[in-house]
């Protein structure tokens, strides 16, 4: 059985941030994740907005960690080689909403959210030509922007592993025992032991607290659904555009990502594992987005998805247990949890230090930033192809991802073994054809390079395999 100083349960952005920070402080840490890849929960399905911090109630943990998180984002992303688009965010409204914008500015100032500016329609149009006709004023918050939440989490995880941490995937913690000074964390018959335990299990955080026999917090689960458009619509907006928040939440946004533009989220009470998109929601999203923007081309939709927020009351719950020494939990980490993650990690690790965990600074081993072949200059491309001809073999034609990049991913410290894991790292199957062309090649590559029989290759873990056995044995099929 393996023993660690710290075990982190949950490989979302919060867990990965805690894990990453601990590895950089020389702590012997393991991160346990139920899915076949990190970022399998809320972290893979959200708006990806780095909020400046004018939304949360002053004095709340949300306000504190949001603002601190935003401050940390730039240097964190630079260190990891993750793209952070520091575009600022825009909140727009009709004339009637003007006083509300002023209130938001006050709140932002109270929280320390950085530079904010009120804009009239003319200024807004210069920034965002596609805002809706009824929009008369807006609030530009310069801090913040957008990021790929899963690439960030993958990078945090990879850097953690390179710096001595361990990640166990496909590890669903289902029993926890405390014996002597150690927590024993079981997943079926597997077991891992650690002196300290951090619960970052997202929608399952309540369940983990129960396993430890600790305080149980009531949580609500709120689903957010999205529509993504094809890459050619990407320039529709340049920064996240939000409507005025209502009592139900921040409302439907129009958000750019590095490659697409998305519309959403909705906010609907749901079961914790319900990430289905409701047919009715599509019309709702389309309708709501018209409040902010004009003529979005929903004919170019390529994908729908949904993520689940976990809420416990009105604020994050980030505490050390008083019953179980060495047990820490982050519960109800809804929006702005992505933004707040680095600050939450800082806070949790500080608590652990107070409680006796030794930290020491060590020299950081840098993570190799994955090659994005299509973004290189022709001269750089030629050099790479000379070294490795696989960079000239295009596997995903929509996104122009090469075999070389897939082979690189197979060397990642957090090995992608499912189609979704490869998709999040490289964008294969994420384009217009949604995998119609390239999935068969990817199956072949996983089969031959990772030695997984094709019938065992899945989209997102056991039970989601793509092929179901041979039609006939023998015969002349492609190999």
Partner 1 sequence: MKTDVLVIGGGPAGIAAAINAWIAGAKVILIEREYRLGGILNQCIHNGFGLHFFGEELTGPEYATRFIEMLNKTTARVLLNTAAVKLTKKDKLFVVSTSGEHGLVDIEAKSIVLAMGCRERAGGAIGLAGERPAGVFTAGFAQKMINCYGKHIGKKVVILGSGDIGLIMARRLKCEGADVVGVYEIASTSSGLKRNISQCLMDFNIPITYNTTVTKVEGKKRVTGVWVAPVDKNWKPIKEKAKLIKCDTLLLSVGLIPENDLVINHPIEISPLTNGAITDEQGQTTMKGIFSCGNVMHVHDLVDNVSHEAARAGKHAALSALGKLRSGKKIPVQHCDKIRYVQPTSVYKSDADTAHIFFRVKQDYRRAALIAYSDGKQIARKNCMIVTPGEMQELEIIKTRLGSDLVIKVEAF
Active site residues: 51
Which residues between 215 and 234 bind ligand FAD (CB under 6 A)? 224
Q: Based on the number of CB atoms within 10 Å of its own CB, is 79 exposed (0-12), middle (13-18) or buried (19 or more)? A: middle
Residue 432 found at the interface with partner 1 (CB under 8 A): yes
Which residues between 290 and 329 bind ligand FAD (CB under 6 A)? 307-309
Q: By rule CB under 6 A, what count of residues binds ligand FAD?
A: 41
Which residues between 133 and 172 bind ligand FAD (CB under 6 A)? 171-172
- Residue 14 binding result from ligand FAD, partner 1, none, given CB thresholds of 5 to 8 Å by partner type: ligand FAD
Q: By rule CB under 8 A, what count of residues binds partner 1?
A: 57
Instruction: Read off φ and ψ for residue 56, nearest 5 degrees.
Output: -70, 155
- Residue 112 binding result from partner 1, ligand FAD, none, given CB thresholds of 5 to 8 Å by partner type: none
Q: What are the angstrom distances between the C-alpha of 118 and each of 110, 122, 138?
A: 17, 12, 6
Nearer to partner 1, 180 or 188 (CB): 188
Alpha helices in 114-267 (DSSP H): 121-127, 149-162, 205-212
- Residue 281 binding result from ligand FAD, partner 1, none, given CB thresholds of 5 to 8 Å by partner type: partner 1
Nearer to ligand FAD, 103 or 175 (CB): 175
Could you tell me which of 386, 366, 367 has the C-alpha nearest to residue 376?
A: 386
Q: Choose which of 116, 139, 200, 293 interacts with ligand FAD (CB under 6 A).
A: 200
Residue 10 found at the interface with ligand FAD (CB under 6 A): yes
Residue 170 found at the interface with partner 1 (CB under 8 A): no
Cβ atoms of residues 301 and 281 within 8 Å: no
Angle at CA of residue 45, ends 164 and 22, nearest 5°: 20
Query: Mind giving me the DSSP string for 140-177?
Result: EE-S-EEE-HHHHHHHHHHHHHHTT-EEE-S----EEE
Q: Which string of x and - marks every residue 191-230 that binds partner 1 (by CB under 8 A)?
A: -------------------------------------x--
Q: Choose which of 126, 179, 246, 471 interacts with partner 1 (CB under 8 A).
A: 471
Nearer to ligand FAD, 36 or 408 (CB): 36
Nearer to ligand FAD, 51 or 347 (CB): 51
Quick count: other Cβ atoms within 10 Å of Cβ 328? 23
| 280: DSSP letter | H
Provide the CA 274 distance to its chain's centre, in angstroms. Answer: 17
Quick count: other Cβ atoms within 10 Å of Cβ 320? 17
Which residues between 258 and 287 bind ligand FAD (CB under 6 A)? 265
Task: State how beta strands 2-9 and 29-32 pair.
Answer: parallel
Cβ atoms of residues 208 and 199 within 8 Å: yes
Q: Point out which span in 34-42, 56-64, 104-112, 413-421 binds ligand FAD (CB under 6 A).
A: 34-42
Residue 5 found at the interface with partner 1 (CB under 8 A): no
Angle at CA of residue 266, ends 260 and 270, nearest 5°: 125
Which residues between 368 and 407 bind partner 1 (CB under 8 A)? 378, 381-382, 385-386, 389, 392-394, 397-398, 400, 402
What is the Cα–Cα distance from 380 to 368, expressed in whole angstroms?
Answer: 17
Which residues between 447 and 466 bind partner 1 (CB under 8 A)? 454-455, 458-466
Residue 11 found at the interface with ligand FAD (CB under 6 A): yes
Residue 67 found at the interface with ligand FAD (CB under 6 A): no
Residue 74 found at the interface with partner 1 (CB under 8 A): no
- Residue 437 binding result from partner 1, ligand FAD, none, given CB thresholds of 5 to 8 Å by partner type: partner 1
- SS3 of 456, please? helix
- Residue 41 binding result from partner 1, ligand FAD, none, given CB thresholds of 5 to 8 Å by partner type: ligand FAD
Which helix (DSSP H) or strand (DSSP E) does residue 109 occupy?
Answer: helix 98-111
Give the count of alpha carbons within 13 A of 321, CB side only.
21
Cβ atoms of residues 227 and 282 within 8 Å: yes
Which residues between 319 and 378 bind partner 1 (CB under 8 A)? 378
Q: Shortest gap between Cβ of 281 and ligand FAD (angstroms)?
A: 12
Provide the CA 184 distance to its chain's centre, in angstroms. Answer: 28
Beta bridge partners of 396: 401
Number of residues that this document lists for the chain:
479
Quick count: other Cβ atoms within 10 Å of Cβ 470? 11
Residue 12 found at the interface with ligand FAD (CB under 6 A): yes
Q: Which residues make up the interface to partner 1 (CB under 8 A)?
A: 228, 232, 273, 275-282, 301-305, 378, 381-382, 385-386, 389, 392-394, 397-398, 400, 402, 432-437, 439-440, 454-455, 458-472, 475, 477-478
Q: Which residues make up the interface to ligand FAD (CB under 6 A)?
A: 9-15, 32-35, 40-43, 46-49, 51, 171-173, 200-204, 208, 224, 265, 307-309, 333-339
């Amino acid at each position: 059985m393996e023993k660690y100083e710290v075990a982190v349960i949950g490989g979302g952005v919060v867990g990965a941030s805690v894990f990453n920070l601990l590895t950089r402080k020389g702590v012997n840490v393991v991160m346990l994740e139920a899915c076949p890849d990190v970022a399998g929960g809320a972290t893979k399905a959200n708006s990806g907005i780095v909020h400046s911090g004018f939304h949360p109630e002053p004095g709340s943990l949300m306000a504190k960690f949001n603002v601190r998180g935003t401050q940390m984002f730039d240097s964190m992303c630079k260190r990891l080689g993750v793209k952070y688009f520091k575009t600022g965010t825009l909140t727009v409204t009709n004339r009637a909403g003007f006083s509300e914008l002023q209130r938001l500015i006050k709140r932002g100032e109270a929280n320390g959210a950085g530079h904010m500016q009120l804009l009239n329609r003319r200024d807004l149009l210069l920034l965002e030509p596609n805002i809706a006709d009824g929009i008369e004023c807006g609030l530009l918050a310069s801090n913040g922007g957008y990021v790929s939440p899963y690439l960030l989490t993958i990078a945090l995880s990879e850097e953690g592993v390179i710096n001595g941490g361990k990640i166990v995937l496909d590890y669903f913690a289902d029993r926890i025992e405390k014996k002597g000074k150690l927590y024993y964390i079981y997943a079926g018959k597997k077991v891992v032991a650690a002196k300290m335990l951090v619960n970052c299990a997202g929608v399952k955080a309540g369940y983990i607290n129960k396993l430890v026999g600790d305080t149980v917090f009531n949580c609500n689960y709120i689903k957010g659904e999205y529509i993504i458009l094809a890459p050619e619509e990407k320039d529709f907006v340049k920064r996240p555009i939000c409507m005025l928040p209502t009592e139900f939440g921040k409302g439907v946004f129009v958000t750019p990502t590095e490659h697409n533009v998305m519309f959403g989220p909705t906010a609907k009470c749901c079961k914790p594992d319900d990430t289905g998109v409701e047919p009715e929601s599509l019309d709702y999203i389309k309708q709501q987005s018209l409040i902010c923007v004009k003529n979005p081309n929903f004919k170019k939709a390529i994908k729908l998805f949904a993520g689940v927020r976990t809420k416990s009351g009105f604020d994050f719950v980030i505490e050390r247990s008083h019953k179980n020494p060495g047990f820490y939990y982050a519960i109800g980490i809804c929006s702005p949890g992505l933004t707040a993650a680095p600050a939450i990690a800082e806070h949790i690790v500080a608590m652990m230090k107070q409680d006796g965990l030794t930290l020491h600074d060590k020299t950081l081993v840098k993570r190799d930033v994955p090659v994005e072949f299509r973004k290189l200059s022709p001269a750089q491309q030629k050099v790479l192809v000379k070294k490795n001809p696989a960079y000239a073999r295009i596997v995903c034609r929509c996104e122009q991802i090469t075999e070389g990049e897939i082979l690189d991913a197979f060397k990642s410290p957090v090995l992608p073994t499912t189609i979704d894991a490869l998709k999040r790292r490289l964008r294969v199957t994420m384009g217009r054809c949604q995998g119609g062309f390239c999935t068969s090649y990817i199956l072949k590559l996983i089969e031959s390079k990772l030695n997984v029989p094709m019938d065992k290759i899945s989209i997102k873990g056991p039970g989601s395999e793509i092929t179901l056995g041979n039609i006939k044995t023998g015969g002349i099929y492609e190999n």
